[in-house]
């Protein structure tokens, strides 16, 4: 098969035209975001449900005539909120790390299916729980499953999506997350007043449906062609590309795209040779900080991007929004406000499908961070100015809710999808699965850290900070760091194939990356290298060739 491949020097012909089939495949794969979003979203409402609080703390449910002090005391203690929320993120952190190896050993598709199975086991344990121990164990196990899916679904979609719509399609994953959060809020709103275990068991058990749909559907989807190339099975890679691109078998487009993938993979292997298990992990940290395209620089970029996404503070709203709105004191139905904020998240995210391809990844992250930090500082200033909830500060609370919704709009259209799109694009094939896994693990590590500390920051019990609205000063300051980070360190990858992203990172810096334009293909350069063995150093320089030759003769020419 390899010998039949024919490369091209036309950068516009390294992929076949986009078809409806490609859209549908990636859209279905993005469905994994629904059960991730639902799992993240339901817990905020459940922890505010009267029956759940009574069952897990033993505190009697206050009557309508109870004093405000009694009502304030009727809540989960901070340590329980912290444990219940963060334990899922802890499991997901380790699941994401493990998923990188599984994706290389068994394939991207099989790893996602395995994640669905592990997740279902965790959900069953949570549904059966009537005590804290079993609930926590179930969330820990479910976290491993979410880690498998959240780490590899982005990798899988990035590898099968055509470059022209890759950003928009990967953004579909973030959109599905918002849909999952909205569905969770709707179910929480419907079951909040039930005085039996159905109040929390219904929201928890519904998650099984999302995992069954995703896991079952993936049996019908093909494996990533880049995984087959990595394993040296070019025949299967060609068959997969034929299915993905909707082209006839043996099509010139298929041959040229496969030739480009093979040539790129061989070039990457010449820079990052294969090795044993620990050696391949260490490749993620090779190259040093001085080389712009080094694996170390890419790993730091991917992990820090996901860290910064968590620093925006948006999960404070989705994890603790219901209890935060309860503590504002003037909102009669905090569950409804929580539902409104998730609705804003869902309605805003589709806009990112267009702007991520129209304006690019770097641009939207810069402006998104600026918009969020302004909103967060306004929320904090209004909260401090208004003081403790009273009859006279209803307008202040309304202002806070309005700017929280605007803040969510900025997140949903920029940092929400943008960070996920970028980590699927910046890693070379030899370390791609592990690089994406490390980046996703970073997301969940910081997710866990924020989930652990936030209840203590806003809690009102003895020994807790009781910051209230002042917590938004922290989120605003962290978003300021995100703004500076995006301007200085985030490259522009819009409109480039995964192979061209590698070359762009080698030849330019983040602030000039939007101006970079590809001039040749890896397949063509592979042929030029073979023909240039007898060239002098001066001729090499004049031809614009690098003095790096692959370890094996290229077949993709």
CA-based torsion, 218, 142, 158, 373: positive or negative: positive
**50-54, 113-117, 246-250, 271-275: least confidently modelled range:** 271-275
pLDDT at 225 (0 to 100): 87
Instruction: Please name which of 171, 209, 167, 165 lies closest in space to residue 30, comparing C-alpha atoms.
Output: 171
Most confident of 183-192, 275-284, 493-502: 183-192
Report the chain's mean pLDDT, rounded to a whole number: 79
pLDDT at 548: 40
Q: Which residues, in sequence order, are CB contacts of 437 under 8 Å at separation 6+?
A: 96, 97, 98, 99, 100, 101, 103, 151, 152
In SS3 terms, 66-110 reads as CCHHHHHHCCCCHHHHHHHHHHHHHHHHHHHHHHHHHHHHHCHHH
Res. 275: pLDDT tops 80:
no
- Residue 345's nearest CA partner among 386, 367, 312, 370 is 312
Question: Which pLDDT value is given to residue 140?
Answer: 93
pLDDT on residue 305: 93
> So what's the pLDDT on residue 262?
85
What's the rounded Cα separation, in Å, for the pair 326 and 332?
A: 8
Fold of 19-221: Growth Hormone; Chain: A; (1.20.1250)
Taking the C-alpha atoms of residue 279 and residue 441, their distance in angstroms, rounded to an integer, is 20
CB neighbourhood size of 222 (10 A):
17
**Is the full-model pTM beyond 0.85?**
no
CA atoms in the 13 A half-sphere facing the CB of 417: 34
Alpha helices in 196-251 (DSSP H): 198-205, 207-218, 225-230, 234-245
Amino acid 436: pLDDT: 84
Is the pLDDT at 244 greater than 50? The verdict is yes
Contact status, residue 154 vs residue 420, Cβ threshold 8 Å: yes
Give residue 213's Cα distance to chain centre. 20
Provide the pLDDT for residue 433: 78
Question: What integer pLDDT is reported at residue 551 of this predicted model?
Answer: 39
Assess whether pLDDT exceeds 90 at residue 371.
Answer: yes
Q: Give, for 452, the enclosing helix (H) or strand (E).
A: helix 432-458
Report which DSSP code applies to 490.
P
The H-assigned helical ranges of 387-431 are 394-413, 415-423
Q: Residue 372's pLDDT band (boundaries 50, 70, 90)? A: very high
Exposed, middle or buried by CB within 10 Å (0-12, 13-18, 19+), for 536? exposed
User: 305, 146, 296, 161: which is closest to 226 by C-alpha?
Assistant: 161
Structure-block tokens of residue 346: 């869902």
pLDDT digits (tens, 9 = 90+) for 444-476: 889 888 888 887 887 776 767 777 788 899 999
3-state helix, strand, coil in the chain (%, to 5): 75, 0, 25
**Which range, of 48-52, 217-221, 254-258, 270-274, averages the lowest pLDDT?**
270-274
Mean pLDDT on 416-444: 84
Comparing 145-159, 202-216, 370-384, 391-405, the range with the smallest average pLDDT is 391-405
Check residue 331 and give its pLDDT: 62
- In percent, the amount of the chain with pLDDT more than 70 equals 81
Domains in the chain: boundaries: 19-221, 290-513
pLDDT at 524: 60
Which range, of 411-420, 442-451, 495-504, averages the lowest pLDDT?
495-504
Distance from C-alpha of 321 to C-alpha of 328, rounded to nearest angstrom: 11
Angstrom CA distances, 243 to 93, 120, 152, 379, stand at 33, 30, 20, 50
Measured over the CA atoms of residue 470, residue 472, residue 477 and residue 480, the dihedral's sign is: negative
CA 248, 253, 255 angle in degrees (round to 5)?
90
Split at pLDDT 50, 70, 90, the class of 9 is low
Q: Which of these, 183, 221, 207, lies nearest to 27 by C-alpha position?
A: 221
Which tens digit of pLDDT belongs to each residue from 106-150? 888 899 999 999 999 999 999 998 888 999 999 999 999 988 888
Highest CATH level, class, for 290-513:
mainly alpha
Whole-number Cα distances in Å, 261 to 256, 298, 429, 507: 9, 20, 9, 20
Per this entry, what is the length of the chain? 557
Q: Which residue is listed with tokens 């049996």?
A: 219
- Judge whether 512 and 503 are in contact, CB under 8 Å: no
User: What pLDDT, on a 0 to 100 scale, did the predictor assign at position 552?
Assistant: 40
pLDDT of 81 over the 60 cut: yes
Most confident of 342-351, 370-379, 485-494: 370-379
First to last CA, the chain: 12
Q: What is the 3-state secondary structure (H, E, C) of 98-155?
A: HHHHHHHHHCHHHHHHHHHHHHHHHHHHHHHCCCHHHHHHHHHHHHHHHHHHHHHHHH
């Amino acid at each position: 098969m390899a010998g039949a491949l024919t490369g091209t020097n036309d950068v516009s012909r390294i992929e076949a035209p986009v078809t409806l089939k490609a859209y549908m495949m990636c859209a279905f794969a993005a469905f994994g975001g629904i059960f991730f979003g639902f799992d993240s979203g339901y817990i905020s409402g459940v922890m505010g449900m009267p029956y759940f609080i009574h069952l897990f703390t033993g505190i009697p449910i206050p009557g309508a005539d109870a004093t405000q002090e009694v009502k304030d005391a009727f809540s989960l203690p901070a340590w329980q909120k912290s444990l219940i929320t963060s334990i899922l993120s802890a499991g997901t952190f380790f699941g994401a790390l493990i998923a990188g190896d599984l994706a290389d050993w068994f394939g991207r598709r099989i790893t996602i299916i395995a994640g669905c199975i592990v997740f279902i086991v965790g959900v069953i344990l949570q549904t059966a729980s009537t005590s804290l121990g079993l609930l926590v164990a179930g969330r820990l196990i479910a976290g491993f499953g979410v880690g498998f899916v959240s780490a590899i679904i982005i990798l899988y979609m990035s590898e099968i999506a055509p470059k022209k719509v890759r950003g928009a399609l990967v953004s579909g994953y973030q959109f599905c997350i918002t849909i999952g959060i909205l569905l969770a809020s709707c179910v929480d709103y419907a079951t909040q007043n039930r005085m039996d275990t159905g109040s929390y068991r219904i929201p928890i058990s519904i998650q099984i449906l999302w995992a069954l749909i995703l896991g079952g559907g993936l049996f019908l989807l093909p494996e990533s062609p880049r995984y087959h190339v990595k394993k040296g099975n070019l025949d299967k890679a060609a068959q997969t590309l034929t299915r993905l691109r909707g082209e006839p078998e043996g099509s010139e487009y298929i041959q040229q795209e496969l030739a480009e993938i093979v040539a790129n993979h061989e070039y990457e292997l010449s820079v990052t040779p294969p090795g044993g298990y620990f050696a391949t992990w260490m490749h993620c940290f090779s190259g040093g900080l001085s080389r712009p395209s080094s694996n170390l620089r890419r790993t730091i970029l991917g992990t820090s991007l996901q860290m910064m996404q968590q620093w925006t503070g948006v999960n404070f709203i989705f994890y603790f929004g219901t209890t935060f709105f309860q503590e504002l004191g003037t909102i009669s139905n905090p569950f409804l406000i929580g539902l409104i904020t998730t609705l804003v998240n869902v309605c805003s995210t589709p806009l990112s499908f267009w702007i991520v391809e129209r304006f690019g990844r770097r641009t939207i992250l810069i402006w998104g961070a600026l918009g969020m930090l302004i909103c967060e500082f306004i929320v904090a200033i209004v909260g401090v100015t208004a003081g403790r909830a009273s009859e006279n500060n209803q307008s202040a609370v309304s202002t806070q809710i309005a700017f929280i919704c605007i803040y969510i709009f900025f997140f949903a259209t920029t940092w929400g999808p943008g960070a996920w799109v970028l980590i699927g694009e910046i890693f070379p094939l030899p370390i791609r699965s592990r690089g994406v896994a490390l980046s996703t693990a970073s997301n969940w590590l910081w997710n866990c850290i924020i989930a652990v500390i936030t209840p203590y920051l806003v809690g009102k019990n003895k020994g807790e900070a009781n910051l209230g609205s002042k917590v938004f000063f922290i989120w605003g300051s962290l978003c300021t760091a995100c703004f500076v980070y995006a301007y200085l360190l985030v490259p522009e990858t819009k409109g480039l194939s995964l192979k061209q992203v590698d070359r762009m990172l080698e030849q330019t810096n983040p602030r000039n990356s939007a101006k970079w334009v590809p001039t040749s293909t890896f397949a063509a350069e592979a042929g030029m290298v073979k023909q240039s063995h007898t060239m002098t150093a001066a001729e090499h320089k004049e031809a614009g060739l690098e003095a790096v030759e692959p370890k094996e003769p290229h077949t993709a020419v």
